[in-house]
Amino acid sequence: VDRKCLCCRHLSNKNTFCATMNVAKSGYRVFSANSSAACTELAKKITERLGVELGKSVVFQESNRETRVAVNESVRGQTIFIIQTIPRDVNTAIMELLVMAYALKTSCAKNIIGVIPYFPYSKQCKMRKRGSIVCKLLASMLAKAGLTHIITMDLHQKEIQGFFSFPVDNLRASPFLIQYIQEEIPNYRNAIIVAKSPAAAKRAQSYAERLRLGLAVIHGEAQCSESDMADGRHSPPCVRNTTGHTGLELPLMMAKEKPPITVVGDVGGRIAIIVDDIIDDVGDFVAAAEILKERGAYKIYIMATHGLLSADAPRLIEESAIDEVVVTNTVPHEVQKLQCPKIKTVDVSMILAEAIRRIHNGESMAYLFRNITVDD
């Protein structure tokens, strides 16, 4: 017996047994944190590409709607990746992720990495009125639950990464959407990229430059950008009976007055491709499609990373001048596709799987961001 190796009795078995122990200690597992079929399907696509099995766990709701998670295998000393898509029931999905992360943390997992293609509450990343920055609160909750890293895709504002106390990899879906344009849109060379508001111009410009196409921007009173939302600055001051200093006279700002809606750029006789990161309430997109149709565009496509498609979005799309809506599978939308055949899906599981593989192997993530600038 070799007393230097306490984990085996026979010298002939020492190397084999020690190697097995090292693999177990340095291994990784992929779990699905959502009880919905769409999340499980995305997790299976990722694990198939990675050549690993999906972790054994059970996620369900108690009769009183409490979330319960059971991890049915040992995760001690391993790196764990939790796949979590965000369906319509956002708050339940968040609790599933928090409870699973905490269960893995208390089971002595080495690292817990959340794969959250669409990060929820990302629109609430700025102060509005007397509200709060909910996105920062969620970042703190995830860290407290035990997450040590996050992989996400196309954050609504890139500055959201600063809310986290651990690394965040913000992947891009634009290569997949650009590939769809090149392969699935006939005569795409006659297309023009459209930003439905000046705020979306940077993203549209990136698409236009990569496809060598023209750029158009919709501007006018029909648009309502986030910066125009009331934030409490026009609230009337409190009336106080004071005899002291009355305060300073600040210069008055002129009220905004939006011009009539207009399209900056020639879309006549062209294919109009509207690009954005999120398509949720489709009212703005439908209005933009009508304007583009009036200006002479003969086909209208919408490209977006996250297809939330809330409320009666499928019906509005079906009845509108929009010819096709292309989104990725970062958010479950199978029900919406059944209601509206104009909705098409692009699979992004390939880049998510590659990100997991590179993080586990300690490889550089720079390859996934090649030729991508800060403004993309």
Give the β-pairing of 214-219 and 262-264.
antiparallel
Token pair belonging to 71:
């991890």
**pLDDT tier at 273, thresholds 50, 70, 90:** very high
Distance CA 118, CA 266 (A): 33
Which domain range does residue 302 map to?
A: 175-221+260-346
160: left (phi over 0), alpha (psi -120 to 50) or beta: alpha
Token pair belonging to 294:
């009036």
77 with 185, same domain: the answer is no
Distance CA 193, CA 196 (A): 10
| 64 pLDDT higher than 70 | yes
Would 357 be classed as within a structural domain? no
| 37 pLDDT higher than 80 | yes
72 with 205, same domain: the answer is no
197 with 289, same domain: the answer is yes
278 with 321, same domain: the answer is yes
For residue 128, give Cα distances in angstroms to 133, 140, 347: 8, 20, 34
Q: What are the residues whose beta carbons fall under 8 Å from the beta carbon of 77, sequence distance 6 or more?
A: 24, 25, 108, 109, 110
Nearest to 153 by CA among 352, 373, 359: 352
127 with 113, same domain: the answer is yes
| 5 pLDDT higher than 60 | no
What is the mean predicted confidence (pLDDT) over 171-181?
Answer: 95
**pLDDT tier at 42, thresholds 50, 70, 90:** very high
What is the mean predicted confidence (pLDDT) over 68-87?
Answer: 92
- Rounded to the nearest 10 degrees, the angle between the axes of helix 134-145 and helix 90-106 is 30
201 with 216, same domain: the answer is yes
Q: What is the pLDDT of residue 225?
A: 46
Nearest to 71 by CA among 86, 59, 84: 59
For residue 251, give Cα distances in angstroms to 228, 237, 238, 254, 288: 20, 16, 19, 10, 36
**pLDDT tier at 24, thresholds 50, 70, 90:** very low
Token pair belonging to 276:
């954005």
322 with 183, same domain: the answer is yes
Q: What is the pLDDT of residue 20?
A: 36
Would 54 be classed as within a structural domain? yes
Q: Which of 3-7, 83-87, 143-147, 245-249 has the lowest mean pLDDT?
A: 3-7
Q: What is the pLDDT of residue 126?
A: 83
Distance CA 362, CA 221 (A): 50
What CATH number does the domain containing 116 carry? Answer: 3.40.50.2020
Would 17 be classed as within a structural domain? no
Would 233 be classed as within a structural domain? no
Would 134 be classed as within a structural domain? yes
Distance CA 182, CA 303 (A): 13
The number of folded domains in the chain is 2
Give the β-pairing of 149-153 and 262-264.
unpaired
What 3-state DSSP class applies to 332? coil
N-to-C CA span, the chain: 61
Q: Which of 11-15, 124-128, 169-173 has the lowest mean pLDDT?
A: 11-15
101 with 155, same domain: the answer is yes
123 with 207, same domain: the answer is no
**pLDDT tier at 4, thresholds 50, 70, 90:** very low
Distance CA 156, CA 97 (A): 20
Q: What is the torsion angle, in degrees rounded to the nearest 10, for the CA atoms of residue 257, residue 260, residue 264 and residue 270?
A: 150
179 with 321, same domain: the answer is yes
Which alpha helices (DSSP H) does the chain contain, by range?
11-25, 37-50, 90-106, 134-145, 174-184, 201-211, 283-294, 313-319, 334-339, 349-361
- Mean confidence (pLDDT) of the chain: 86
Long-range contacts of 161-168 (CB under 8 A, 24+ apart): 163/125, 163/133, 163/135, 163/136, 163/139, 164/139, 165/139
Would 235 be classed as within a structural domain? no
The predicted-structure confidence for 344-366, as pLDDT tens digits, reads as follows 999 999 999 999 999 999 999 98
The predicted-structure confidence for 126-159, as pLDDT tens digits, reads as follows 888 778 899 999 999 999 999 999 999 999 988 8
Q: What is the pLDDT of residue 35?
A: 66
Q: What is the pLDDT of residue 214?
A: 96
65 with 205, same domain: the answer is no
DSSP code of 312?
Answer: T
Would 2 be classed as within a structural domain? no
The predicted-structure confidence for 200-235, as pLDDT tens digits, reads as follows 999 999 999 999 999 999 987 654 444 445 555 555
340 with 193, same domain: the answer is yes
Would 107 be classed as within a structural domain? yes
Give the β-pairing of 57-61 and 67-71.
antiparallel
